[in-house]
Structures are given as C-alpha cells and as structure tokens.
Structure 1
Amino acid sequence: MTSNLKERLKESGKTFLVGIAGDSGSGKTTFANAIRNLLGNDIVSSITLDDYHVYDRQTRWKLNITPLHPEANNLKLVETHLMLLKKGETIRKPTYDHSTGTFGEWEDFTPTPVVIVEGLHTLYDGLRNYLDFRIFVDPARYIKRRWKIKRDVEERGYNRQKVVEEIIRRESDYKRYIDFQKIYADVVIKIFPTALQSVERITYLTEAPPELYKVRLILKSGDFVPTEPIKLDIDLSAFVRASEKDFALGFFSDYYYEKPASFIDIDGLMNVELFSTLLDILKKEVGADVEWKMNTYVNAIEVAKLLVCWRFLELIKFRLEAEL
C-alpha cells in the first residue's frame, strides 16, 4: 500500500469536498490556497459559488438585493452540482466575472481528488451535507471591512465609495443569511487584532509595524481520529530560543453552539525555523515538496493555515483507513 497521503488520494478514486464559507473579503481564498499549496494543483481544484449568482451587478443594484440573499443565488443548481461532484462526475457550470460584474460562458468542470468550494452560502441548508470538511472564516468586523476595501479597490478596480456603500448595505443580510453557518463548521477561524503589547514597541516608532493578528481556531470535536494521528510536536527549548518576537499560544476546551470543541489561540510572530519544523511534518505525510512562502517570522494567520491543513489531513487519513 502507498504510504503517503497524496498518492493514496489519487488511488482512492474518491472526491473529498472542502467547503469554505464566510463573508466577502473575509479570507476564504487564503485558507483555500493553503490546502492547495500543501497537496498540489494536480489533485486540488476549486469552484466559487459567486459563479452561481442569479443577477449581474447592475441588476442587483436596481433590485436592491445583495449577493448574500439566498434568492440572489441558484442554490438548487449548486446542490445538484455538489451531488454530482461527490460522485466524481463532470459538471457544466456558469461563470461570473468580478471585473465586469457580468456572466461569462458556461464551462465544464471535472473534479480532482480534492475540490474546494468557496462561497457565501457554502454551509447553507441543502449544501453542507455533501461536504467532507467544513470551514467558516470569521474576522472581526473592522478587519473584514479593511480587507474587502483593499481587495475590491486595489485588486478589482472598484470605485471606493461604491465599495463602502456596499459594505454598509449588506451587513444586515450577513447576519440573516451568512453568520449562522458557522454553527455547522468543523473549523471556525476567528481573526482579531493582536492582543500582545510588544517589548519591542520602541522600534515600531521608527519602523513599519508588522502585520499582527490574533487567531482563535475553534475545532469541533469529531470522530475522525486516524489510527496513527499526525503529531505536531513542539520542542519547548526551541520554542523558547526562537522567541525573539512576541508570540503566544493558548488552548482550552469548551462548548461551541452545544458541541464540544477545542479552542486554540495564536498571537504574534512565530520564528520561521519553528514553523518549518511543523510544516515538515505535514510535508512528510503528504509525500511531496510544498511551496509555502515564509519570511523570517510568520504571523498567526500563517500558523492557523498550517493547523487547518493538519486537521484536514487527519480527516483524509481517517477516511482512507476506514475504506481498508
């Protein structure tokens, strides 16, 4: 039997569906890319539920309806397509062009062993049951607003005032139709401003401050524990020696919407050598080289990406073992 997960995935003939939900600009693609980078483009593909909008941008403005409203999306078609993808079948799907706000040509999509489904309604009623692994990305309000403005204005070329108006207009729909989906996630990723008061604060007066966040990972207690768990061991002595920058790691157990869960808090900057040691463990499990861009230090979001990948690999191991 092939030992590494990548080859076992290829040989299994199965399609694992990963659903990532959250508001626009919340960081869904960031975590999708982490899974793609770890396993490789040859076995990971993705679709966005933005392609399933019913109305183009101009029509949505005329009707005063946001993309967050379920009626602005063809969720029945999404459900049908998820069912077919789970069976390994090719689908013919619509496309949406964010640069113009209009629809493109329909295209064929053939599933790979891992398919990432990103969107506003990915964990919605009728959709989430087709997913093997469910993620909800939930940044603090002001962080989410800042990220969305940066993406839509700088990357997509939207009018800044229009973007701000859209953010305000869609907040009530977010609470009605999107926020509740985190109840059904296997992993909830909450992102806050850093809580650390750095002893190096004096240097920030003359240097640009690093991009610091605090991330809380909420991992629902599941039944997918493989026979040989993937152990992310941290060398405490190396951890102490590598603490030139402020970094904090915390853990506790509690309930999250009636379900037992593990809470992991990550804050500050982790030394890249310590991070690389953890990444090497995942590389060994996957059995392939991994391109993961890193600086001398990695922030809490990078560490959270690695832990989400670890959780997903454990699910894959458990499911593949169950087939033996």
Structure 2
Amino acid sequence: MLSVVVAGAIAFSPNSAISRSSVSSRAAVSMEVKPVVIGIAADSGCGKSTFMRRLTAIFGGKSKLNDIGRETNTLVSDMTTVICLDDYHKYDRQGRKGNPEFPNGITALAKDCQNWDKMAADVSDLKAGKTVSKPIYNHITGALDPNEMVKPTPIVIFEGLHPLVDPRVKGMLDMSVYLDITDDVKFAWKANRDIAERGATMEEVQSQINARKPDFAAFVEPQKQEADIIVQVLLSDLIDDPTGKFLKVKLIQKKGLTVEPAYFFDAGSTIEWTPNKEKLTTNGPGVKIASYEDEWFGRAVQVIEMDGEFADLEELVYIESHLCNAGTKYYGELSEQMLANKDAPGSPNGTGLFQTVCSFKIREAYEKLRK
C-alpha cells in the first residue's frame, strides 16, 4: 500500500527488532528534508537496470556509480540514490553453496539468504535523512566486500528481489512497483541470450529456469500482490511469436493511492483501440491499445495495455495525445523521454512506454508527498 505518511512530516517509529543503539552508531547528521523511499521488486534479468535509467532520468541529472574507488552497485545523482538489494545477501557465492546450515545449498532468492535487520535499519536511517554504512555484494567475485558510505538524497530507491518481503521495510516504502515478467517471456529472453551468446541448449535454459522456480514462487512472486503498480510483460496476442520479439505489456495501477491512475480516453471507460495506421507507423503485427478497470488480488485497479511495436518513436505523440493522467507536466514530455532513451531495450514496445509512465507517476507521488 502507498504510505500516506509524508516523509519528513511525521517521525517513523522503527520496529523494536532494530537496535536503536546500532542505528545511532551508523547514522550521520540528518538532512533538513527527509527522502521519499521507493521499492522496485523483480526477478534477475527482468529489466530493472533499464527501468532505473528511465526513472532517474525523469528527475534530471546524470546517474553514476557511487564514488568509492572500488566495485559498487549503488547509483547516485543529485536527486536519486538507487540501492541494489543484492547487497544485503547474508552469504557470499561460495557460502551459498557450501553452508553446513543448508546441505543442499541456498539460492539468493531465498528468504534465509538476506540480512533483513541490516536492510530494515538502513531503510529507516536513509528515510530519516541519515548517512549509512551499507554492505556490498560483489557480482564479479561473488564476495561480500567492505561496506560503503551512502548519503540520502531526495529520492531513495531500493531495487531487487525482496523490497516488499520484510514488513518493516515494506512499511517504510512510500511507493512500490513490481516488474512481472511472465514465464514464457522469461524463457524467450533467456534462450535468446544464452543460446546465441553462450552456446546453451534449449534444455539447459529450461533447466536453469526450473531450478529457480521454487524459491522465486515462494519469496519473490508474492510481492506482486502487494505492489502499488505492476508492469506485466507477456507474449503478444497479435502474432504467434515464441521468441519474445513482440510483446503485450500491461500497466496495472491500484486505485486509492496518493496518485490517481493513468488511462486512455475517458476515465471509467473500457477501450480497445487500433491506432490510425496513417498516424502511427508500426512493426510486425501492428499496435493495439486497451484501457479498462479490473481487480488485482481483490483490489480495484486501472489497467492500460499495449500490444505490438512502434516503428518510429517520434510518432508517439499521437498515442500520448490520448493518454490521460500520465503524470507529465506538459504535452509531449512522455514522447521526449521515450526519444531520449530510444536505444534502451524495450523502447519500441509497451515495456519502454509503461516504464516511462510509471516513472512519471513516481515523480507525481514524490511531489505530492514532499508538499
């Protein structure tokens, strides 16, 4: 649920399981303005990095790795800090394989593999405007590297496998997003990469996916019920394409949040729209848009869909002219952002479009919460 607590206006009382003495020893001097905290949940390889580039670009300034002179996963800009939740792994790569507590090994997706107390303490401190000493998981070596110092910025984003699992962390998030990549799309993406680049077979690709499924289903996937906004990616309905080149993407937005959902044409209407081919050049099977109200795990939601692929992003203004309540500040801003990221994966399809809309809704929530 989107928190109605305005960051900085009301003090947060952390869960008693977080040691206040350990928090105070880690924390530096508070900022005058407390950050708004966003959680982005998704499996590995589901486009979080591309989404982070789109999101941070909305707030301006150039994002770069935290300047600590060594390997880090933390991205910073004047307005944003993006923290990778892999940094809160309890065990290094070797420790996950040879831990006597887990004779059969433990995956990074498992709940017992995460240092929840440290994660909750760091979220609490950053939300309070305090600098933290946070761990680093080195993706290259698989080691747990020495901590780094991270300063709060107006927006702090925690992205990774588990931002909505620990109730303490979930309770401190001002807004949450889940990237829901369906099994068919995951297989297509992984097969395209691993077979072409690594010489894997179809059987090997499926085996690797199946090995992750139990822990993913138990610890990661349930978060899509909890998130405020879900970006769901499916194979296209317009064409039989198991390669995943053409996609159907949904932006599922819960109602009753700080920000109202985006929709096409008229609020409350059910729309299926095939854009005018003279105004919108498309690839392959074309483009189909939909907008409707629905339920998501018992919650009322507004859904917008795009199936298919654009051929010319400069023509996106035609689509934008019929999109309402997108969180933009002026007509054409959505198209500008899409063109600025035209080389990013997913830009010609609904992935890029709805990640960008989602980014505008996060900015809208941030501005309302900071008033």
- TM-score, with structure 2 as normaliser: 0.69
Correspondence 1:262-273 to 2 at 5 A: 262-270=302-310, 271-273=312-314
How many angstroms does 1:238 deviate by?
8.7
Indicate how the Cα distance of structure 1 residues 312 and 188 shifts in structure 2: closer, same or farther if over 3 A, else same: same
Report whether the alignment pairs 1:308 with 2:358: yes
Indicate how the Cα distance of structure 1 residues 61 and 150 shifts in structure 2: closer, same or farther if over 3 A, else same: farther
Asked whether the 8 Å contact 1:38–1:283 carries over to 2, the reply is no
For 1:61, the equivalent position in structure 2 comes to 97
How many angstroms does 1:184 deviate by?
1.0
% identical equivalent positions: 29
How many angstroms does 1:173 deviate by?
0.9
For 1:21, the equivalent position in structure 2 comes to 41
Equivalent of 1:91 in 128, 132, 138: 132
For 1:188, the equivalent position in structure 2 comes to 230
Q: Distance in 2 between matches of 1:44 and 1:233?
A: 33
Equivalent of 2:281 in 237, 241, 244: 244
Asked whether the 8 Å contact 2:294–2:300 carries over to 1, the reply is yes
Report whether the alignment pairs 1:167 with 2:209: yes
For 2:246, the equivalent position in structure 1 comes to 212
1:175-203 alpha-carbon deviations (Å, 9 max, x no partner): 111111111101111101122249xx9xx
Indicate how the Cα distance of structure 1 residues 163 and 18 shifts in structure 2: closer, same or farther if over 3 A, else same: farther
How many residue pairs get aligned? The number is 297
Asked whether the 8 Å contact 1:230–1:314 carries over to 2, the reply is no
One-letter identity of the residue aligned with 2:328: L
How many angstroms does 1:106 deviate by?
0.7
Indicate how the Cα distance of structure 1 residues 231 and 148 shifts in structure 2: closer, same or farther if over 3 A, else same: closer
How many angstroms does 1:248 deviate by?
1.2
Correspondence 1:1-324 to 2 at 5 A: 13-40=33-60, 41-62=77-98, 63=102, 64-126=105-167, 127-147=169-189, 166-197=208-239, 211-225=245-259, 241-245=278-282, 246-270=286-310, 271-275=312-316, 278=320, 282=328, 284=330, 292-294=340-342, 298-320=348-370, 323=371
Secondary structure class of the residue paired with 2:234: strand
Secondary structure class of the residue paired with 1:25: coil
> Structure 1 regions of 5+ residues with no counterpart?
1-10, 202-208
Secondary structure class of the residue paired with 1:104: strand
Q: Distance in 2 between matches of 1:97 and 1:166?
A: 22
Q: Distance in 2 between matches of 1:108 and 1:215?
A: 38
Q: Distance in 1 between matches of 2:360 and 2:196?
A: 32
How many angstroms does 1:12 deviate by?
8.2
Asked whether the 8 Å contact 2:189–2:244 carries over to 1, the reply is no
Report which stretch shifted further, 123-132 or 140-149. 140-149
1:266-308 alpha-carbon deviations (Å, 9 max, x no partner): 11123412435749983759x9x9672226x721111111211
> Structure 2 regions of 5+ residues with no counterpart?
1-30, 61-76, 267-272
Secondary structure class of the residue paired with 1:254: strand
- Where relative contact order (Cα < 8 A, 6+ residues apart) is larger, the structure is 1
One-letter identity of the residue aligned with 2:183: R
Indicate how the Cα distance of structure 1 residues 58 and 165 shifts in structure 2: closer, same or farther if over 3 A, else same: farther
Asked whether the 8 Å contact 2:79–2:155 carries over to 1, the reply is yes
Provide runs of 4+ in structure 1 moved above 6 Å.
149-155, 159-164, 229-234
For 1:7, the equivalent position in structure 2 comes to none
One-letter identity of the residue aligned with 2:289: L
Q: Distance in 1 between matches of 2:295 and 2:113?
A: 34
Q: Distance in 2 between matches of 1:254 and 1:316?
A: 26
Q: Distance in 1 between matches of 2:361 and 2:342?
A: 21
Indicate how the Cα distance of structure 1 residues 267 and 237 shifts in structure 2: closer, same or farther if over 3 A, else same: closer
Report which stretch shifted further, 133-142 or 54-63. 54-63
Indicate how the Cα distance of structure 1 residues 250 and 108 shifts in structure 2: closer, same or farther if over 3 A, else same: same
Structure richer in helix, relative to its length: 1
Indicate how the Cα distance of structure 1 residues 211 and 237 shifts in structure 2: closer, same or farther if over 3 A, else same: closer
For 2:9, the equivalent position in structure 1 comes to none
Q: Distance in 1 between matches of 2:132 and 2:40?
A: 20
For 1:8, the equivalent position in structure 2 comes to none
How many angstroms does 1:223 deviate by?
3.4
How many angstroms does 1:125 deviate by?
2.9
How many angstroms does 1:143 deviate by?
2.0
Q: Distance in 2 between matches of 1:265 and 1:170?
A: 28
Indicate how the Cα distance of structure 1 residues 238 and 65 shifts in structure 2: closer, same or farther if over 3 A, else same: closer
